A and B are shown apart, each in its own frame.
Chain A
Amino acid sequence: MPDTRWQPSCDRAALAARSAFYRTIREFFYARDVLEVDTPLLGNAPVSDPNIEPMQTREGRWLHTSPEYAMKRLLCAGSGDIWQLCKVFRAGEAGRRHNPEFSMLEWYRVSWSLDRLMDEVRDLVRALFQTRWAELPEVRMSYASALKQFAGIDVHKASDDDIAAVGISVAGQDLQLGRDGWLDIIMSHRVEPALSEETLVFIYDFPASQAALAKVSCDADGNPVAERFELFFNGTELANGYHELTDAEEQRRRFEKEADGRPLDEQLLSAIEQGLPECSGVAMGVDRLLMHLLQAEHISDVLSFDWPRA
Protein backbone atom coordinates (compact mmCIF):
# COMPACT_ATOMS: atom_id res chain seq x y z
CA MET A 1 0.00 0.00 0.00
CA PRO A 2 1.45 3.37 -0.98
CA ASP A 3 1.35 5.99 1.75
CA THR A 4 -1.63 8.27 1.00
CA ARG A 5 -1.32 10.59 3.96
CA TRP A 6 0.08 13.31 1.73
CA GLN A 7 -3.35 13.70 0.11
CA PRO A 8 -5.79 16.47 1.07
CA SER A 9 -8.65 15.62 3.39
CA CYS A 10 -11.23 17.39 1.22
CA ASP A 11 -12.08 17.19 -2.47
CA ARG A 12 -11.59 19.92 -5.06
CA ALA A 13 -15.23 20.99 -4.87
CA ALA A 14 -14.70 21.89 -1.21
CA LEU A 15 -11.59 23.90 -2.07
CA ALA A 16 -13.62 25.77 -4.69
CA ALA A 17 -16.50 26.37 -2.27
CA ARG A 18 -14.09 27.85 0.26
CA SER A 19 -12.57 30.09 -2.38
CA ALA A 20 -16.05 31.31 -3.39
CA PHE A 21 -16.85 31.90 0.29
CA TYR A 22 -13.79 34.07 0.79
CA ARG A 23 -14.65 36.07 -2.29
CA THR A 24 -18.23 36.63 -1.09
CA ILE A 25 -16.97 37.69 2.34
CA ARG A 26 -14.46 40.16 0.87
CA GLU A 27 -17.02 41.64 -1.52
CA PHE A 28 -19.57 41.90 1.30
CA PHE A 29 -17.28 43.96 3.50
CA TYR A 30 -15.72 46.03 0.70
CA ALA A 31 -19.21 47.01 -0.40
CA ARG A 32 -19.97 48.12 3.16
CA ASP A 33 -16.73 50.01 3.54
CA VAL A 34 -15.40 47.92 6.43
CA LEU A 35 -11.61 47.82 6.67
CA GLU A 36 -9.90 44.43 6.33
CA VAL A 37 -7.14 44.06 8.91
CA ASP A 38 -4.42 41.55 9.67
CA THR A 39 -3.29 41.15 13.28
CA PRO A 40 -0.49 38.91 14.65
CA LEU A 41 -1.19 35.24 15.28
CA LEU A 42 1.53 35.08 17.94
CA GLY A 43 0.93 37.44 20.82
CA ASN A 44 2.52 38.19 24.18
CA ALA A 45 -0.52 37.24 26.25
CA PRO A 46 -2.94 34.33 26.11
CA VAL A 47 -6.72 34.34 26.03
CA SER A 48 -8.22 34.75 29.49
CA ASP A 49 -11.22 32.43 29.01
CA PRO A 50 -10.42 29.37 31.17
CA ASN A 51 -12.48 27.13 28.88
CA ILE A 52 -10.23 27.81 25.92
CA GLU A 53 -6.80 26.24 25.90
CA PRO A 54 -4.21 28.28 23.99
CA MET A 55 -1.06 26.84 22.40
CA GLN A 56 2.31 28.29 23.25
CA THR A 57 5.54 28.40 21.25
CA ARG A 58 9.00 27.70 22.63
CA GLU A 59 9.66 31.43 22.61
CA GLY A 60 6.81 31.85 25.09
CA ARG A 61 4.47 33.44 22.56
CA TRP A 62 0.81 32.48 22.45
CA LEU A 63 -1.04 31.49 19.29
CA HIS A 64 -4.24 33.48 19.31
CA THR A 65 -7.52 31.65 19.92
CA SER A 66 -9.42 34.53 18.30
CA PRO A 67 -8.24 37.89 16.95
CA GLU A 68 -10.45 39.71 19.47
CA TYR A 69 -7.79 41.30 21.70
CA ALA A 70 -5.67 42.70 18.89
CA MET A 71 -8.71 43.92 16.95
CA LYS A 72 -9.98 45.71 20.04
CA ARG A 73 -6.63 47.45 20.36
CA LEU A 74 -7.07 48.65 16.79
CA LEU A 75 -10.55 49.92 17.66
CA CYS A 76 -9.12 51.76 20.66
CA ALA A 77 -6.56 53.33 18.35
CA GLY A 78 -9.35 54.68 16.15
CA SER A 79 -9.47 52.16 13.30
CA GLY A 80 -13.24 52.41 12.84
CA ASP A 81 -15.16 49.40 11.49
CA ILE A 82 -12.83 46.44 10.90
CA TRP A 83 -13.01 42.80 9.84
CA GLN A 84 -10.58 39.92 9.66
CA LEU A 85 -10.53 36.39 8.29
CA CYS A 86 -7.81 34.34 9.92
CA LYS A 87 -6.70 31.03 11.36
CA VAL A 88 -7.09 30.56 15.10
CA PHE A 89 -5.76 27.79 17.35
CA ARG A 90 -7.31 25.97 20.29
CA ALA A 91 -5.53 23.05 21.92
CA GLY A 92 -7.49 19.83 22.24
CA GLU A 93 -10.55 20.93 20.31
CA ALA A 94 -10.94 18.01 17.94
CA GLY A 95 -14.09 16.25 16.85
CA ARG A 96 -16.62 16.01 14.09
CA ARG A 97 -17.13 19.77 14.12
CA HIS A 98 -13.81 20.86 15.60
CA ASN A 99 -10.25 21.09 14.35
CA PRO A 100 -7.59 22.58 16.65
CA GLU A 101 -6.64 25.00 13.84
CA PHE A 102 -9.66 26.58 12.20
CA SER A 103 -10.80 29.63 10.27
CA MET A 104 -12.56 32.48 11.97
CA LEU A 105 -14.26 35.53 10.59
CA GLU A 106 -14.49 38.35 13.08
CA TRP A 107 -15.75 41.89 12.69
CA TYR A 108 -16.57 44.98 14.72
CA ARG A 109 -19.03 47.77 14.05
CA VAL A 110 -18.49 51.04 15.87
CA SER A 111 -21.59 52.46 17.59
CA TRP A 112 -23.78 49.63 16.32
CA SER A 113 -26.41 47.95 18.46
CA LEU A 114 -26.54 44.19 18.75
CA ASP A 115 -29.79 44.13 16.76
CA ARG A 116 -28.18 45.88 13.87
CA LEU A 117 -25.23 43.49 13.97
CA MET A 118 -27.62 40.52 13.93
CA ASP A 119 -29.14 41.98 10.76
CA GLU A 120 -25.72 42.10 9.18
CA VAL A 121 -24.81 38.57 10.26
CA ARG A 122 -28.08 37.35 8.77
CA ASP A 123 -27.40 39.15 5.49
CA LEU A 124 -23.89 37.72 5.22
CA VAL A 125 -24.97 34.15 6.00
CA ARG A 126 -27.77 34.43 3.47
CA ALA A 127 -25.26 35.58 0.88
CA LEU A 128 -22.92 32.69 1.71
CA PHE A 129 -25.71 30.11 1.66
CA GLN A 130 -27.37 31.53 -1.46
CA THR A 131 -26.41 28.61 -3.68
CA ARG A 132 -28.12 26.03 -1.45
CA TRP A 133 -30.85 28.03 0.28
CA ALA A 134 -32.37 30.78 -1.85
CA GLU A 135 -34.50 31.96 1.07
CA LEU A 136 -33.52 31.41 4.67
CA PRO A 137 -36.04 32.36 7.33
CA GLU A 138 -34.83 33.97 10.52
CA VAL A 139 -35.98 33.67 14.14
CA ARG A 140 -34.81 35.68 17.14
CA MET A 141 -35.55 34.60 20.68
CA SER A 142 -34.15 35.40 24.08
CA TYR A 143 -32.14 32.80 25.98
CA ALA A 144 -34.85 32.78 28.65
CA SER A 145 -37.65 32.09 26.19
CA ALA A 146 -35.64 29.35 24.45
CA LEU A 147 -35.01 27.61 27.78
CA LYS A 148 -38.63 28.03 28.77
CA GLN A 149 -39.95 26.68 25.50
CA PHE A 150 -37.56 23.78 24.95
CA ALA A 151 -36.49 22.78 28.45
CA GLY A 152 -39.32 24.07 30.64
CA ILE A 153 -36.93 26.17 32.73
CA ASP A 154 -37.48 29.71 33.93
CA VAL A 155 -33.83 30.69 33.87
CA HIS A 156 -34.32 33.89 35.87
CA LYS A 157 -36.25 32.17 38.66
CA ALA A 158 -34.88 28.62 38.76
CA SER A 159 -32.51 27.81 41.61
CA ASP A 160 -29.09 26.27 41.05
CA ASP A 161 -30.50 22.96 42.32
CA ASP A 162 -33.45 23.07 39.89
CA ILE A 163 -31.07 23.60 37.00
CA ALA A 164 -28.65 20.94 38.22
CA ALA A 165 -31.52 18.43 38.48
CA VAL A 166 -32.52 18.97 34.85
CA GLY A 167 -28.86 18.91 33.81
CA ILE A 168 -28.19 15.61 35.56
CA SER A 169 -31.16 13.97 33.90
CA VAL A 170 -30.06 15.27 30.51
CA ALA A 171 -26.40 14.25 30.94
CA GLY A 172 -27.25 10.85 32.40
CA GLN A 173 -24.94 11.43 35.35
CA ASP A 174 -23.87 14.07 37.86
CA LEU A 175 -20.90 15.90 36.37
CA GLN A 176 -20.50 18.17 39.41
CA LEU A 177 -20.95 21.34 37.38
CA GLY A 178 -21.83 24.86 38.39
CA ARG A 179 -24.98 26.63 37.26
CA ASP A 180 -23.50 27.79 33.96
CA GLY A 181 -22.04 24.37 33.23
CA TRP A 182 -25.44 22.74 33.62
CA LEU A 183 -27.05 25.48 31.53
CA ASP A 184 -24.54 24.69 28.78
CA ILE A 185 -25.50 21.02 28.98
CA ILE A 186 -29.21 21.84 28.75
CA MET A 187 -28.59 24.31 25.94
CA SER A 188 -26.51 21.91 23.85
CA HIS A 189 -28.47 18.71 24.57
CA ARG A 190 -32.05 19.97 24.71
CA VAL A 191 -32.39 23.43 23.20
CA GLU A 192 -30.06 23.37 20.20
CA PRO A 193 -31.49 20.15 18.72
CA ALA A 194 -35.05 21.50 19.15
CA LEU A 195 -34.54 24.78 17.28
CA SER A 196 -36.29 25.17 13.92
CA GLU A 197 -34.42 23.54 11.07
CA GLU A 198 -33.32 25.38 7.95
CA THR A 199 -33.72 28.62 9.88
CA LEU A 200 -31.23 31.17 11.16
CA VAL A 201 -31.94 31.20 14.88
CA PHE A 202 -30.49 34.03 16.94
CA ILE A 203 -30.53 33.54 20.71
CA TYR A 204 -29.87 36.77 22.64
CA ASP A 205 -29.82 38.10 26.22
CA PHE A 206 -27.66 35.42 27.82
CA PRO A 207 -27.46 34.95 31.60
CA ALA A 208 -25.34 37.72 33.11
CA SER A 209 -22.99 35.07 34.49
CA GLN A 210 -22.05 34.16 30.91
CA ALA A 211 -21.17 37.70 29.87
CA ALA A 212 -17.51 37.04 28.91
CA LEU A 213 -16.52 40.36 27.33
CA ALA A 214 -20.06 41.64 26.73
CA LYS A 215 -21.92 44.43 28.47
CA VAL A 216 -24.44 43.46 31.12
CA SER A 217 -27.77 45.28 31.23
CA CYS A 218 -31.37 44.62 32.25
CA ASP A 219 -33.92 43.03 29.94
CA ALA A 220 -37.52 44.26 29.59
CA ASP A 221 -38.50 42.46 32.81
CA GLY A 222 -35.63 43.89 34.80
CA ASN A 223 -33.51 40.72 34.81
CA PRO A 224 -29.77 41.21 34.37
CA VAL A 225 -28.63 39.81 31.03
CA ALA A 226 -25.44 39.70 29.01
CA GLU A 227 -25.76 41.63 25.78
CA ARG A 228 -24.68 38.69 23.65
CA PHE A 229 -26.15 36.66 20.85
CA GLU A 230 -25.37 33.33 19.31
CA LEU A 231 -26.46 32.18 15.89
CA PHE A 232 -27.59 28.58 15.51
CA PHE A 233 -28.30 26.75 12.30
CA ASN A 234 -29.43 23.13 11.96
CA GLY A 235 -28.17 22.20 15.39
CA THR A 236 -24.80 23.91 15.35
CA GLU A 237 -23.49 27.14 16.76
CA LEU A 238 -22.18 29.40 14.02
CA ALA A 239 -21.50 32.81 15.53
CA ASN A 240 -21.09 34.58 18.81
CA GLY A 241 -21.74 38.33 19.02
CA TYR A 242 -21.24 40.88 21.79
CA HIS A 243 -22.20 44.38 22.59
CA GLU A 244 -18.64 44.97 23.73
CA LEU A 245 -17.72 45.86 27.27
CA THR A 246 -16.00 49.25 27.23
CA ASP A 247 -15.52 49.70 30.99
CA ALA A 248 -11.80 49.14 31.65
CA GLU A 249 -12.18 48.50 35.37
CA GLU A 250 -14.92 45.96 34.88
CA GLN A 251 -12.84 44.36 32.13
CA ARG A 252 -9.87 43.98 34.49
CA ARG A 253 -12.13 42.50 37.20
CA ARG A 254 -13.48 39.89 34.79
CA PHE A 255 -10.00 39.04 33.51
CA GLU A 256 -8.66 38.64 37.04
CA LYS A 257 -11.61 36.52 38.08
CA GLU A 258 -11.20 34.00 35.30
CA ALA A 259 -7.46 34.17 34.50
CA ASP A 260 -6.59 31.30 36.86
CA GLY A 261 -2.87 32.00 36.77
CA ARG A 262 -2.64 33.00 33.14
CA PRO A 263 -0.97 36.35 32.48
CA LEU A 264 -3.42 39.16 31.70
CA ASP A 265 -3.22 40.96 28.38
CA GLU A 266 -2.04 44.27 29.83
CA GLN A 267 -1.77 45.82 26.38
CA LEU A 268 -5.47 45.21 25.81
CA LEU A 269 -6.33 46.56 29.26
CA SER A 270 -4.24 49.70 28.64
CA ALA A 271 -5.97 50.17 25.31
CA ILE A 272 -9.43 49.88 26.87
CA GLU A 273 -8.40 52.37 29.58
CA GLN A 274 -7.54 54.70 26.74
CA GLY A 275 -11.04 54.15 25.43
CA LEU A 276 -12.79 51.43 23.46
CA PRO A 277 -15.49 53.05 21.34
CA GLU A 278 -19.03 51.76 21.81
CA CYS A 279 -19.22 48.84 19.42
CA SER A 280 -20.64 45.42 18.66
CA GLY A 281 -18.53 42.57 17.41
CA VAL A 282 -19.05 39.01 16.23
CA ALA A 283 -16.95 35.93 15.53
CA MET A 284 -18.05 33.27 13.09
CA GLY A 285 -16.75 29.78 12.37
CA VAL A 286 -16.13 29.68 8.65
CA ASP A 287 -15.48 25.92 8.46
CA ARG A 288 -18.84 25.19 10.10
CA LEU A 289 -20.59 27.42 7.58
CA LEU A 290 -18.90 25.51 4.78
CA MET A 291 -19.92 22.21 6.37
CA HIS A 292 -23.55 23.27 6.17
CA LEU A 293 -23.28 24.53 2.63
CA LEU A 294 -21.66 21.27 1.47
CA GLN A 295 -23.68 19.09 3.87
CA ALA A 296 -20.39 17.71 5.16
CA GLU A 297 -20.46 15.15 7.95
CA HIS A 298 -17.02 15.96 9.29
CA ILE A 299 -14.98 19.16 9.42
CA SER A 300 -12.16 17.29 7.62
CA ASP A 301 -14.38 17.28 4.54
CA VAL A 302 -13.95 21.06 4.20
CA LEU A 303 -10.29 21.40 5.21
CA SER A 304 -7.39 21.08 2.77
CA PHE A 305 -5.44 19.14 5.40
CA ASP A 306 -7.09 18.27 8.68
CA TRP A 307 -5.20 18.05 11.97
CA PRO A 308 -3.79 14.51 11.54
CA ARG A 309 -2.68 15.27 7.96
CA ALA A 310 -1.40 18.80 8.49
Chain B
Amino acid sequence: MANYSTNEFKSGLKVMLDNEPCSIVENEYVKPGKGQAFNRVKLRNLRNGRVLEKTFKSGDSLEGADVMEVDMEYLYTDGEFWHFMATDGSFEQHGASQEAVGDTVKWLKEQDVYTVILFNGAVLTVAPPNFVELEVVETDPGVKGDTANGGSKPATLSTGAVVKVPLFINIGEVLKIDTRSGEYVGRA
Protein backbone atom coordinates (compact mmCIF):
# COMPACT_ATOMS: atom_id res chain seq x y z
CA MET B 1 0.00 0.00 0.00
CA ALA B 2 1.01 3.58 -0.59
CA ASN B 3 2.19 5.82 2.21
CA TYR B 4 0.26 8.95 3.03
CA SER B 5 1.84 12.10 4.42
CA THR B 6 0.06 14.21 7.05
CA ASN B 7 -0.84 16.78 4.41
CA GLU B 8 -2.78 14.06 2.56
CA PHE B 9 -4.72 13.01 5.66
CA LYS B 10 -8.36 13.57 4.84
CA SER B 11 -11.49 12.48 6.58
CA GLY B 12 -12.23 8.92 5.45
CA LEU B 13 -8.66 8.00 4.48
CA LYS B 14 -7.80 4.49 5.69
CA VAL B 15 -4.37 4.10 7.26
CA MET B 16 -2.45 1.68 9.44
CA LEU B 17 -1.62 2.81 12.97
CA ASP B 18 0.17 0.43 15.34
CA ASN B 19 -0.82 -2.44 13.01
CA GLU B 20 -4.50 -1.56 13.27
CA PRO B 21 -6.58 -0.32 10.33
CA CYS B 22 -7.97 3.12 11.08
CA SER B 23 -10.04 5.74 9.32
CA ILE B 24 -9.06 9.41 9.60
CA VAL B 25 -11.85 11.40 11.24
CA GLU B 26 -10.22 14.81 11.53
CA ASN B 27 -6.86 16.36 10.75
CA GLU B 28 -5.87 19.75 12.13
CA TYR B 29 -2.65 21.50 11.15
CA VAL B 30 -0.99 23.22 14.12
CA LYS B 31 1.92 25.60 13.67
CA PRO B 32 3.26 27.58 16.59
CA GLY B 33 4.53 31.02 15.50
CA LYS B 34 8.06 29.94 16.34
CA GLY B 35 8.40 26.21 16.26
CA GLN B 36 7.77 23.20 14.13
CA ALA B 37 4.46 22.22 12.61
CA PHE B 38 2.26 19.38 13.86
CA ASN B 39 -0.89 17.66 12.79
CA ARG B 40 -3.45 16.74 15.43
CA VAL B 41 -5.31 13.78 14.06
CA LYS B 42 -8.41 11.94 15.19
CA LEU B 43 -8.63 8.36 13.96
CA ARG B 44 -11.26 5.67 14.31
CA ASN B 45 -9.99 2.16 14.84
CA LEU B 46 -11.99 0.20 12.29
CA ARG B 47 -11.82 -3.02 14.27
CA ASN B 48 -13.33 -1.77 17.53
CA GLY B 49 -14.76 1.61 16.55
CA ARG B 50 -12.76 3.47 19.18
CA VAL B 51 -11.70 7.02 18.34
CA LEU B 52 -8.19 8.04 19.34
CA GLU B 53 -6.21 11.26 19.08
CA LYS B 54 -2.62 11.31 17.97
CA THR B 55 -0.28 14.13 17.10
CA PHE B 56 2.20 13.77 14.25
CA LYS B 57 5.08 15.89 13.06
CA SER B 58 3.94 17.54 9.83
CA GLY B 59 5.35 15.56 6.94
CA ASP B 60 5.36 12.23 8.80
CA SER B 61 3.51 9.49 7.00
CA LEU B 62 1.43 6.39 7.62
CA GLU B 63 0.97 3.35 5.48
CA GLY B 64 -2.38 3.10 3.75
CA ALA B 65 -4.71 0.35 4.91
CA ASP B 66 -6.18 -2.06 2.38
CA VAL B 67 -9.74 -1.48 3.48
CA MET B 68 -12.87 -1.71 1.35
CA GLU B 69 -16.48 -1.10 2.20
CA VAL B 70 -18.81 -3.47 0.33
CA ASP B 71 -22.58 -4.03 0.35
CA MET B 72 -23.18 -7.73 0.92
CA GLU B 73 -26.19 -9.95 1.32
CA TYR B 74 -26.28 -12.29 4.30
CA LEU B 75 -26.55 -15.94 3.18
CA TYR B 76 -26.22 -18.35 6.13
CA THR B 77 -24.05 -19.41 9.04
CA ASP B 78 -22.27 -22.71 9.42
CA GLY B 79 -21.87 -22.14 13.14
CA GLU B 80 -18.31 -20.88 12.82
CA PHE B 81 -18.61 -18.33 10.04
CA TRP B 82 -21.35 -16.08 8.78
CA HIS B 83 -21.38 -16.02 4.99
CA PHE B 84 -22.06 -12.98 2.84
CA MET B 85 -22.23 -12.37 -0.90
CA ALA B 86 -21.50 -9.14 -2.76
CA THR B 87 -24.54 -7.44 -4.28
CA ASP B 88 -22.59 -5.94 -7.18
CA GLY B 89 -23.20 -8.97 -9.41
CA SER B 90 -19.74 -10.46 -8.79
CA PHE B 91 -21.18 -13.18 -6.49
CA GLU B 92 -18.00 -12.75 -4.45
CA GLN B 93 -18.44 -14.47 -1.08
CA HIS B 94 -16.80 -13.90 2.30
CA GLY B 95 -17.12 -15.62 5.64
CA ALA B 96 -17.11 -13.41 8.74
CA SER B 97 -15.84 -14.63 12.09
CA GLN B 98 -17.81 -14.19 15.29
CA GLU B 99 -15.47 -11.33 16.26
CA ALA B 100 -16.11 -9.59 12.91
CA VAL B 101 -19.88 -10.01 13.12
CA GLY B 102 -19.97 -8.82 16.74
CA ASP B 103 -23.30 -7.43 17.95
CA THR B 104 -24.65 -7.35 14.40
CA VAL B 105 -25.38 -11.07 14.78
CA LYS B 106 -28.67 -10.22 16.44
CA TRP B 107 -29.86 -8.31 13.33
CA LEU B 108 -28.76 -10.82 10.69
CA LYS B 109 -31.56 -11.93 8.40
CA GLU B 110 -31.03 -13.93 5.26
CA GLN B 111 -31.17 -11.89 2.03
CA ASP B 112 -30.89 -8.56 3.85
CA VAL B 113 -27.99 -6.34 2.79
CA TYR B 114 -25.23 -5.33 5.25
CA THR B 115 -22.20 -3.06 5.05
CA VAL B 116 -19.12 -5.25 5.22
CA ILE B 117 -15.66 -3.81 5.77
CA LEU B 118 -12.94 -5.91 4.21
CA PHE B 119 -9.38 -5.57 5.50
CA ASN B 120 -6.66 -7.30 3.48
CA GLY B 121 -9.44 -9.27 1.80
CA ALA B 122 -10.97 -10.59 5.04
CA VAL B 123 -14.09 -9.39 6.82
CA LEU B 124 -13.21 -6.90 9.55
CA THR B 125 -16.67 -5.72 10.59
CA VAL B 126 -20.29 -6.10 9.57
CA ALA B 127 -22.71 -3.22 10.08
CA PRO B 128 -26.48 -3.59 9.84
CA PRO B 129 -28.75 -1.18 8.00
CA ASN B 130 -30.35 1.42 10.28
CA PHE B 131 -33.66 -0.45 10.19
CA VAL B 132 -34.43 -4.15 9.96
CA GLU B 133 -37.75 -6.00 9.82
CA LEU B 134 -37.93 -9.13 11.96
CA GLU B 135 -40.65 -11.54 13.04
CA VAL B 136 -41.69 -12.03 16.66
CA VAL B 137 -41.16 -15.67 17.69
CA GLU B 138 -41.90 -15.38 21.36
CA THR B 139 -43.77 -12.93 23.59
CA ASP B 140 -46.61 -12.88 26.09
CA PRO B 141 -50.03 -12.91 24.44
CA GLY B 142 -51.18 -9.58 23.11
CA VAL B 143 -53.52 -7.55 25.26
CA LYS B 144 -56.45 -6.59 23.08
CA GLY B 145 -57.52 -3.01 23.00
CA ASP B 146 -54.46 -1.80 24.86
CA THR B 147 -53.01 0.56 22.29
CA ALA B 148 -52.28 3.36 24.72
CA ASN B 149 -48.77 4.35 25.70
CA GLY B 150 -47.07 3.11 28.78
CA GLY B 151 -46.98 -0.65 28.92
CA SER B 152 -44.30 -2.72 27.29
CA LYS B 153 -43.07 -6.31 27.37
CA PRO B 154 -40.08 -8.20 26.00
CA ALA B 155 -40.39 -9.97 22.66
CA THR B 156 -37.90 -12.38 21.11
CA LEU B 157 -37.34 -11.94 17.39
CA SER B 158 -36.42 -14.54 14.78
CA THR B 159 -32.73 -13.69 15.10
CA GLY B 160 -32.75 -14.17 18.87
CA ALA B 161 -32.69 -10.45 19.64
CA VAL B 162 -34.93 -9.37 22.51
CA VAL B 163 -36.60 -5.97 22.24
CA LYS B 164 -39.20 -4.11 24.23
CA VAL B 165 -42.52 -3.93 22.40
CA PRO B 166 -46.00 -2.55 23.21
CA LEU B 167 -48.40 -4.89 24.96
CA PHE B 168 -50.61 -5.39 21.88
CA ILE B 169 -47.91 -7.16 19.81
CA ASN B 170 -48.41 -10.88 19.07
CA ILE B 171 -46.23 -13.78 17.97
CA GLY B 172 -45.89 -13.91 14.19
CA GLU B 173 -46.03 -10.16 13.64
CA VAL B 174 -43.18 -8.53 11.71
CA LEU B 175 -41.68 -5.47 13.42
CA LYS B 176 -39.48 -2.63 12.28
CA ILE B 177 -36.49 -2.18 14.60
CA ASP B 178 -33.94 0.63 14.74
CA THR B 179 -30.60 -1.21 14.95
CA ARG B 180 -28.77 1.86 16.29
CA SER B 181 -30.81 1.96 19.48
CA GLY B 182 -32.20 -1.57 19.39
CA GLU B 183 -35.68 -0.09 19.78
CA TYR B 184 -39.05 -1.04 18.35
CA VAL B 185 -40.22 1.48 15.75
CA GLY B 186 -43.54 -0.01 14.61
CA ARG B 187 -45.23 -2.83 12.79
CA ALA B 188 -43.62 -3.44 9.42
Is A51 a contact of B36 with CB atoms below 8 Å?
yes
A93 and B33 in contact, given A171-B55, A172-B53, A173-B55 (Cβ under 8 angstroms): no
Q: Is the CB of B55 within 8 A of A170?
A: yes
In the complex, whether B32 has a CB less than 8 A from a CB of chain A is yes
Q: Which residue of A92, A172, A173 is within 8 Å of B58 (Cβ)?
A: A92
Quick one: CB contact mask for A198-223 with B, threshold 8 Å, 1 for yes? 00000000000010100000000000
Among B30, B57, B58, the one with the most A-chain Cβ atoms within 10 Å of its Cβ is: B30
Expressed in whole angstroms, the Cα–Cα distance for A210 and B29 within the complex equals 21
Q: Is B144 interfacial (CB-CB < 8 Å)?
A: no
Q: Pick the contact of B40 from A94, A181, A189, A230 — CB < 8 Å?
A: A189
Q: Are A181 and B35 within 8 A (Cβ)?
A: yes
> With an 8 A cutoff between CB atoms, is A262 at the interface?
no
Of listed A51, A189, A210, A240, residue having the most chain B CB within 10 A: A51
A187/B29 in contact, CB under 8 A: no
User: Is A95 an interface residue, CB under 8 A from the partner?
Assistant: yes
- Chain B residues 70-123 with CB under 8 Å of chain A are none
Q: How many residues of A contact B (CB 8 A)?
A: 28
The B1-28 residues at the A interface (CB cut-off 8 A) are 7, 28
Number of inter-chain CB pairs below 8 Å: 62
Also in contact, A171 and B31, with CB within 8 A (given A92-B7, A189-B40):
no
Measured in the bound complex, the distance between the Cα atoms of B7 and A238 in whole Å is 23
Residue A184 lies at the interface, judged by CB distance under 8 Å to chain B: yes
Question: Contacts A172-B52, A185-B55: A96 and B28 contacting too (C-beta < 8 A)?
Answer: yes
A237–B30 alpha-carbon span in the complex (Å): 10
Interface residue? B50 (CB, 8 A)? no
Interface size on B, as a range, is 20 to 34
Q: Is B180 an interface residue (CB 8 A)?
A: no
Q: How far is the CA of A173 from the CA of B56 in the complex (A)?
A: 8
Interface check A98, CB cutoff 8 A: yes
**Contacts known (A51-B37, A181-B36); A95 close to B55, Cβ less than 8 A:** no
Would you give the 0/1 interface string for B48-63, flagging 1 where the beta carbon is closer than 8 Å to chain A? Answer: 0000111111110000
Residues of B within 8 A of A212 (CB): 34
Q: Check if A93 sits within 8 Å of B55, measured CB to CB.
A: no
In angstroms, Cα B36 to Cα A237, docked, is 14
Partner of A95, one of B29, B36, B56: B29
Of B32, B40, B52, B53, the contact of A184 (CB 8 Å cutoff): B32
Question: Whole-angstrom distance from the CB of A133 to the nearest CB of chain B?
Answer: 23
CB distance from A150 to the nearest CB of B (A): 16
Chain A residues contacting B34 (CB-CB under 8 Å) are 49, 51, 210, 212, 240
Bound form: Cα–Cα A212–B37 in Å: 16
Taking a contact as CB atoms under 8 Å apart, the answer to whether A171 and B36 are in contact is no
Point out residues on A near B: beta carbons under 8 Å: 49, 51, 92-98, 170-173, 175, 177, 180-181, 184-185, 187-189, 210, 212, 230, 237, 240, 283
CB-defined A-B contacts under 8 Å, sample of 25: A49-B34, A51-B34, A51-B35, A51-B36, A92-B59, A93-B31, A94-B29, A95-B30, A95-B31, A96-B28, A171-B38, A172-B52, A172-B53, A172-B54, A173-B54, A173-B55, A175-B57, A177-B36, A181-B36, A184-B38, A185-B38, A188-B38, A212-B34, A230-B33, A237-B33
